[in-house]
A = this chain, B = another copy of it.
Amino acid sequence: MEVAILGCYAATPTTSHRPTSQVLSIGNHLFLIDCGEGTQTQLRRQKIKFSRIKHIFISHLHGDHFYGLIGLIATFGLLDRKTPLHIYGPKGIKEIITLQLKLSKSWTGFPLYFHELEQKTPEIIFQDDKVSVETIPLDHRVYTNGFLFKEALGDRKLLIDKVDEYQIDVAYYKSIKKGKDVPDNNGNLIANKLLTAPPPPPKSYAFCSDTAFKPELATQLKNTSVLYHEATFLERHKHLCEKTKHTTAKQAATLAKMAAVKKLILGHYSTRYGSIEVFKQEAEQVFPEVLLAEDGKKFKFD
């Protein structure tokens, strides 16, 4: 599991700060999460192959989270993409994109599917045999979802010494990995647990931006491997969080602790602070495993 941060600052793009966008690599997928202005240029800079992006998740319809989407779709079209593209985002996103495609007489040459979200409780919006994605309803000034990406439980690990010892035919290996009990050469049923070890624990990634501090998320986020959570402000500007429905670094860390996640990545920083190190310092008072998102940075989780 790997996440590439394309942009992680709040509000407007500047020469040194890019709005929210990131690419999560999980279960053979590249998922694009949010798509602020300039995302397509950042994808090129990080040499991420456009055609591998088949699913885009948009948290909410504030510009710093989706103004780069129409340009990315148009570029896919110009590059003669044929691969289908799925867009998950708040109701309204389809109208915004299709209106612009219509007025530019530039229909895409690839299938474009919109999955518009309206529900205020978690729902599974994507699932295959490798990974599932569910919404995390957030508390912001407009309808907003975070997204929880979970690897599916993998196959059980075949213990090759044991299958030799019990004289199991190679034809049964696939069934054994799937957890089945299988017969030995004499027709005796051998319990699966004698032949396998449990699969590695599945990893998970939660993206929570933008939102006011929402401690009740701890239940849904329980034991998540990595939580990316917005930390727009520090505690000394907590009053701005209340007004704008954002979170402080300390509040993000509090949620990380409550949910017992393994790692916390902070991002969506206000540019009012000279350095982003202050967010880490504040969060570490509550929760030790804090990482700082930075534009262009990649995190790998083994």
A positions within 8 Å CB-CB of B = 11-15, 37-38, 40-41, 44-45, 61-63, 67-68, 70-71, 74-75, 78-79, 90, 92, 95-96, 99-100, 103-106, 141-142
Contacts and interface: CB of A to CB of B under 8 A. Distances in A.
Nearest to A41: B13
23 contacts: A12-B75, A12-B78, A13-B40, A14-B41, A15-B41, A15-B45, A37-B40, A37-B68, A38-B41, A62-B104, A62-B106, A63-B70, A63-B74, A63-B100, A63-B106, A67-B67, A67-B74, A90-B103, A92-B103, A95-B99, A96-B99, A104-B142, A105-B141
A241 B141 CA distance: 47
A45 B16 CA distance: 10
A92 B101 CA distance: 11
A186 B177 CA distance: 115
Contacts of A38: 13, 37-38, 41
A69 B103 CA distance: 15
A41 B75 CA distance: 20
Given A96-B100, A105-B141, 11 more contacts: A11-B78, A13-B38, A15-B45, A37-B38, A61-B103, A63-B70, A63-B74, A67-B71, A90-B103, A95-B99, A99-B99
Contacts of A14: 41, 44
Contacts of A79: 12
A10 B48 CA distance: 22
Contacts of A12: 40, 71, 74-75, 78-79
- Residue picked from A14, A62, A79, A103, most chain B C-beta under 10 Å: A103
A37 B71 contact: yes
- Residue picked from A14, A41, A90, A106, most chain B C-beta under 10 Å: A41
- Residue picked from A15, A71, A90, most chain B C-beta under 10 Å: A71
Nearest to A90: B103
Contacts of A90: 103
The 8 closest A-B pairs by CB, nearest first: A12-B75, A92-B103, A63-B74, A37-B71, A61-B103, A67-B71, A61-B104, A62-B104
- Residue picked from A11, A13, A45, A92, most chain B C-beta under 10 Å: A13
